[in-house]
Structure 1
């Protein structure tokens, strides 16, 4: 029995030895396969795991004016970043203390700083605040910090482990001649999570999680040209994710330069003149309302009449475009949208919509002359014109007897145009149920581009509105329930007699396009609204013989090396179907507005024989508000339009500024024209672009030939 037990023990030992030997053979074979047979593949994988790419942001392209003056450039700014790989290795208490210490330095709360450190898409990430970039890249938590803050971090590394202070490029605004230009230039903000996902899906290498993108103005419209192409710095990391050294660099490609048609010298004069007139009108007493003019906003536009290029465009109130650099605070953002502050973010030039008043009358003249009236037609310019039970008044109840179209434009006679509008309504549209009734004046307004966007290369343009029969019907359908409900309620002290009466009338027949609507339309009153840019484009068509141009700000895109990558030619968007004899007739009438009409008192001594300024003034009345003042003017070269909301009469509120702008454009000194004093060399900007030199400097283009 003992022998049998001993044999069994030896057998077990042999089995165990065989199993152990088999395991060693298997392990040896596997090691041989990994290290010898497939060793190169695993070495590549290991090397890839130990090397990470860190994005190097490109320098964004410049934006320059027609003479090559920088409107938007770049400047170095100190940025504080936190390396999360180091932060995550700290004990909880150490981490909290470091975050608190950094938050004090960058003037943020620890909670806000922690939100910036969360990767977008992860639990707790907050849209607009989370980090979109690489997990191996330090997260910027404060941009454009003071130099002393950056030096404090650099000089005390033991107190700020994993905290970096380095210089990066941010947007700078050189402000040549003090220009603001905020609404034209636009601004940048960090890329959103959704935008980053779309860019990745499209394999768009120009965008990354740390990119900033254009949000408004030409910064948005031409973002793809301006943004450049990021570079990459390859860094070696250890098993704990800590950076151990560089492993190569791919240089970033700077963005391209955008050359605009804006002229900084003209822009400066336009901005200052508009701001000064608004400030002055606020000191003037309004006899109608018994208080000073509110002059709450305004806009001005200067276009090249033959191309539609934008030479200057200003809006008030405005804001400092640099407020977006480094991240905007909630307080600053609230102010930009604040109605109390005048909604500074709104561009009145292309987004503000106002009744055009008498600046509308030249287009109504064209519509009348094309539809049965003649240049020798004579109609009464009486102090009032009765429509139903209402008398529509002439301005200050003035009367001029029987006059023609030219005189009606010269003195801006409302009752003359009331008669035109009423006549067409009686002939074609007295059936208020006929939405499709012919309306020559509405058709002419549409011909000149009103009621639709101009197509300017700046996002966010407003379309304006032609308040025709269809619009009135649509508005009634959308609002009838509200007004009918209001009319059914007992009148309260909070509801004025006017509002209550209006609600009752609107509920019953708010859809009807009546004679009162037609006569109001004929003088640019009522519910029709335009943008200053639309009005400027229409007056350019009067100047250039009938071409409607699509306004453009950009002229060309130029590479960092000075190569012209793209020229942006003027685009014709339509032709005004008005016979030349009628355009010439209107042109002559508007020339008389400057010489002896409603604009003459502001152009005394101006050399009109040399600089032939044609003009039309307008004062648009708005219920519950003071009058909006307009002046629209042009020569064969330029169109200049300015308006001030609640600023009084057209020439009274803006006439002095209009004159100043024309003096700047043509170099007028007193009663003389000095071409050498013109803001733009050669008076009109040349077709050539600024010259880009190898050392990065930019020279003005050759002078224009007249």
Structure 2
């Protein structure tokens, strides 16, 4: 008995020891938490109970060169619902949403869907902003609707009618400018991460904030957005707001002064639209009407690269993006059938430049040793092997200079020179390091790469070359050979019912299947007149001619001129950026300039400039008609002129895809723009033909965003 009692006593003492040890450990941990780690846990507790509500700042304005607003803000009435206030109501806001739905012409279920937080498994509509701020459920509402909410607050607890700032587009002179200005959309995770990584002024960018998605709105987003307002609130464990800790008001974004002139822009857009309509409805001298499916126009200041006007067609309405674009409208903007209106054709689409390329071929010929004072044959056609290449309209001009070849746009002069250069490089068996003078000159003038304009989405185009052809052949050989083999059995099934077209395409596929990587004589002669695989944007061609007009400087095109405070003070200016001088002799550039002026006087552009005071105000031009198999020809036209003492200051390029001839379709549009800028046959947009003076320079900076 005594032994059992002893064992029990020992067990009790062991248990007492374990319990005492646990109590000591717990006491020590409590003391540690209260003393050593108290600050960390207090901060964690605060983090669990304090939330930030970010209020976006009013975006800065985008202004034209005279300070006229291209993009501004307007006040819009919105109806918002406070989710926290609804959650405190007995029915969790069911009755309020039902009453509000009747006012707004919708259902309580639709409103409830709008205010629920977005997340995994939650499809739109939903709210992707902070759960602690009111959710907009109706935007741009009529003032009478807003008054129903404001006058009967007791019937709508948690519902407010507020004024907010949204984007507005004055369209001075009906200028659209959509592809240059761009639009806004809600921020996503990538935007938030990019802001934090860059350390920009808005590290708390949230999904409810709007950011630039295209054009200047994207390029200069941080400049325009400003600093958000931040309200810190305490919330309970259910997420209900208890109190406001602090509130900082938003700071408006700065304004962006551009080189765009709204009046010139409106004239340019109208000229482009009229050119497209003219091509579609007015028969040319042969009675042809054209598809004219799209186009673009670019106006540059050749002395500094400033973009005076820029437009593409088809275009779109920027107001469609205010408040969020609907799926049907967006689908139309990216539809091939509608002509992809969202595509910025001045700098994000490319086509063969046609005869506008001949200035590059002439410069290459001069650099390769061809005498600019010598005459060259211009027959109606030129034969290479078993293939005959014709002049446009098969016209012959006898022996002429290279300058006259530019004036009358003689193809065969350039065919012969390109063929001779190809033979010097070894022809079908090229030398180890072919000179390819015309390709090198295209690179010298900046083709084959982006111009560096301060707009997102620019493409670099393409220079047709031996390297490109090899790469393209490797990528497409399997498909090409497959078509050729299938067509041996049923040609119509592969190429369609047009027998002549099918025969041509079948022969082309068979040749390309075997040795499509070779740079042939036909490739070389096509390249010399801007045909074949070479692709350039209208902006690139405007830059080429601006370099000729200004004596050889490749200015980087720029739209932004200055950053201004909301009060109009200059923060910084964006100075012109040069990409250097083209490697072309000054005498050659002067020769080209004189030849282009001859084109306007007595060449292919003489009809366009009929009645222009060419003696007092010389003008230059070049026409282009680029042909593609199975399509109508694409129209190109470049013209330049300037005020007294600066006769080649402004360069305008217009192109219409499948629009016919350069002089017939695009030429009148270019003349209309230059006439308005310089006051020929109409009042001048600018006094003395010069743009408004830039505000005082505070700090010159070459960079963009």
Is 2:651 aligned against 1:651? no
Given that 1:557 and 1:566 are in contact with CA atoms closer than 8 Å, whether structure 2 keeps it comes out as yes
CA distance in 2: counterparts of 1:303 and 1:360, whole angstroms = 18
CA distance in 2: counterparts of 1:313 and 1:647, whole angstroms = 19
Alignment of 1:175-324 (within 5 A): 175-199=171-195, 204=200, 206=202, 207-235=205-233, 241-243=239-241, 248-285=246-283, 292-324=289-321
Partner secondary structure for residue 615 of structure 1 = strand
Q: Report how far residue 388 of structure 1 moved.
A: 1.3
CA distance in 1: counterparts of 2:579 and 2:108, whole angstroms = 53
Against the structure 1 CA distance between its residues 599 and 322, is the aligned structure 2 distance closer, same or farther, given a 3 Å change threshold? same
CA distance in 2: counterparts of 1:349 and 1:548, whole angstroms = 18
The CA deviation string for residues 353-394 of structure 1, in whole angstroms up to 9 with x for no partner, is 111111111111011011110112222111111111111111
Given that 1:118 and 1:124 are in contact with CA atoms closer than 8 Å, whether structure 2 keeps it comes out as no
Given that 1:67 and 1:690 are in contact with CA atoms closer than 8 Å, whether structure 2 keeps it comes out as no
Aligned position for 1:378: 375
The CA deviation string for residues 83-110 of structure 1, in whole angstroms up to 9 with x for no partner, is 2223444577964983796498376994
CA distance in 2: counterparts of 1:43 and 1:477, whole angstroms = 65
CA distance in 2: counterparts of 1:483 and 1:40, whole angstroms = 72
Of 135, 139, 145, which aligns to 1:143? 139
Against the structure 1 CA distance between its residues 142 and 432, is the aligned structure 2 distance closer, same or farther, given a 3 Å change threshold? farther
Compute the TM-score of the two structures, normalised by the length of structure 2.
0.86
Q: Report how far residue 219 of structure 1 moved.
A: 0.6
Of 530, 539, 550, which aligns to 1:533? 539
The CA deviation string for residues 106-154 of structure 1, in whole angstroms up to 9 with x for no partner, is 76994696266224xx43345x865443321112344334434434444
CA distance in 2: counterparts of 1:311 and 1:109, whole angstroms = 51
Of 664, 669, 673, which aligns to 1:661? 673
Q: Report how far residue 80 of structure 1 moved.
A: 2.8
Any gaps of 5 or more consecutive residues in structure 1? 1-22, 671-676, 693-706
Of 495, 502, 511, which aligns to 2:508? 502
Partner secondary structure for residue 209 of structure 1 = coil
Aligned position for 2:419: 422
Against the structure 1 CA distance between its residues 442 and 154, is the aligned structure 2 distance closer, same or farther, given a 3 Å change threshold? same
Given that 2:94 and 2:108 are in contact with CA atoms closer than 8 Å, whether structure 1 keeps it comes out as no
Q: Report how far residue 511 of structure 1 moved.
A: 0.5
The CA deviation string for residues 178-227 of structure 1, in whole angstroms up to 9 with x for no partner, is 11000000010000134224545666551233210000001101001100
Given that 2:565 and 2:571 are in contact with CA atoms closer than 8 Å, whether structure 1 keeps it comes out as yes
Alignment of 1:527-566 (within 5 A): 527-566=533-572
Aligned position for 1:333: 330
Partner secondary structure for residue 285 of structure 1 = coil
Partner secondary structure for residue 270 of structure 2 = helix
Larger deviation, residues 244-253 vs 222-231:
244-253
CA distance in 2: counterparts of 1:380 and 1:389, whole angstroms = 20
Alignment of 1:63-78 (within 5 A): 63-78=62-77
CA distance in 1: counterparts of 2:257 and 2:581, whole angstroms = 28
Q: Report how far residue 686 of structure 1 moved.
A: 4.7
Against the structure 1 CA distance between its residues 44 and 283, is the aligned structure 2 distance closer, same or farther, given a 3 Å change threshold? closer
Aligned position for 1:82: 81
Is 2:480 aligned against 1:483? yes
Aligned position for 1:634: 640
Any gaps of 5 or more consecutive residues in structure 2? 1-22, 496-501, 642-647, 699-705
Aligned position for 1:470: 467
Against the structure 1 CA distance between its residues 199 and 348, is the aligned structure 2 distance closer, same or farther, given a 3 Å change threshold? closer
Against the structure 1 CA distance between its residues 108 and 65, is the aligned structure 2 distance closer, same or farther, given a 3 Å change threshold? farther
Aligned position for 2:10: none
CA distance in 2: counterparts of 1:161 and 1:500, whole angstroms = 74
Aligned position for 2:524: 518
Against the structure 1 CA distance between its residues 650 and 100, is the aligned structure 2 distance closer, same or farther, given a 3 Å change threshold? farther
CA distance in 2: counterparts of 1:103 and 1:621, whole angstroms = 60
Against the structure 1 CA distance between its residues 201 and 535, is the aligned structure 2 distance closer, same or farther, given a 3 Å change threshold? closer
Compute the TM-score of the two structures, normalised by the length of structure 1.
0.86
